[in-house]
Chain A
Amino acid sequence: MAPPRTCALCQTARPIVRRPKTGQQVCKECFFHVFETEVHNTIMSAKLFKPGDRVAIGASGGKDSTVLAHVMKVLNDRYDYGLEMYLLSIDEGITGYRDDSLESVKRNQQEYGLPLKILSYDELYGWTMDAIVEQIGRKNNCTFCGVFRRQALDRGAAALNVDHIVTGHNADDIAETVLMNIMRGDIARLGRCTLICTQGEDSIKRSKPFKYAYEKEIVMYAYFKKLDYFSTECIYSPDAYRGHARVFLKDLEAARPSAIIDIIHSGEAFQIGEAVELKAQQTCKRCGYMSSNDLCKACTLLESLEKGMAKLATGDRNRRRLDEEPAPENMRTIPMFHRATPAEPAAAP
């Protein structure tokens, strides 16, 4: 019989996982340590935080954000980052899906002792995803959800007065996005999607500490740490386009595990020429959110819902018909939360 294998790192314990990034066979303790340390290194080399930062962890109750909350807590304690952390969850209003996943967020809140804020589409937009799908059907509803979620996270972060939102996007997600942006020829997004940290006009930073963490390792970490997460597919149309990229990427990974990191590096290496003009940013005339048009995307989509013409909102072809329809009276203004400005230098009131 072959001699028992030992961990490539400590050379003593029995290995339990093969790391996709390196092919190394590592034991449970070394796996935890190397996974956490790599995330720490990612955070340090990108200088994501400074002591005293207020950080919201975008928490969906799924595997990535559950592991992120756990690891952020571990690292903040271990390396003394000095961060004040919050959990921020968005309730899209999807019965049988989000209500269940929010239960796992609440269990995480108990376990990590982090304050939790839940902000709902209903509260912000006056519409739940259930109601939106009732109007527009299962096709294209992801467009609404995507726009609404992004703004909801920003607004929730402002309400919490945080400096920074961290999300659980992992290496696989980013590689998928690179592939999707290449296939769609979306140069502007291709340039942005590999950035570890972006900053909007509202000065709240968004970053992805799991940028280089493989999905396999995140799931293995959750499994061996026995973390409690929610794993049901959204009941409304899954993002079909991403689904194709995902299957393709998983096939590539099976053939060559480094493919995921390689694709991220390729995405990073694309130089976006100066000639590509990015649209100037302004603020939405209705709600004040940053926007590249008179109305921000959420207000545009919301108006189409209020007119009962939301099916026309996702294609360019029918936009004119939509624009010709007058806005209903009492058109809702999406509430804006303002961050408390940092103490201004003593100007007498």
Chain B
Amino acid sequence: MEDEKTITVKLVFGGGVEVLFSNKRNQSITIPAQAPASGSHPSRPADLRYLILWMSESLLTDRKELFVDGETVRPGILVLVNDTDWELEGELDYELQKGDEVVFISTLHGG
């Protein structure tokens, strides 16, 4: 399924975000390796900005606003790439690598 034109990454959901994704805690997805131009961003290798856009278009049906806010995730959702805070990895600009694991955890639920 994967060739040079696509890239497969693993998505993990926790803290309540999983309810937006059919209650699946993790899934493997394959997306185009090259992100098409969008907004002010030219075509480029797939990055987290593109992944989030792709997820909101392909995986989310309704209540998108509970996950995305503009081009990024809603404040209060933590993102980790290969178990590292995405704030250390360039956030939206992080370029996805084959086999990366991207974790989304909501901090907004329950005490």
Contacts and interface: CB of A to CB of B under 8 A. Distances in A.
Q: Among A215, A218, A219, which residue has the most Cβ atoms of chain B within 10 A?
A: A219
A216 B75 contact: no
Q: Among A61, A63, A64, A224, which residue has the most Cβ atoms of chain B within 10 A?
A: A63
Nearest to A17: B85
Given A17-B85, A18-B87, A60-B110, 5 more contacts: A216-B78, A220-B78, A223-B14, A247-B76, A250-B76
B88 A15 contact: yes
Contact of B88 (A17, A64, A172): A17
A231 B14 contact: yes
Interface string B94-111: 000000000101111111
Given A18-B87, A231-B14, A169 B111 contact: yes
A247 B108 CA distance: 9
Nearest to A16: B84
A346 B16 CA distance: 56
Given A60-B110, A223-B105, A25 B88 contact: yes
A93 B85 CA distance: 37
Nearest to B108: A246
Contact of B85 (A16, A101, A250): A16
Contacts of B88: 5, 15-18, 25
B15 A231 contact: yes
Interface in B54-111: 74-76, 78, 80, 83-85, 87-88, 103, 105-111
B29 interface: no
A65 B111 contact: yes
A253 B75 contact: yes
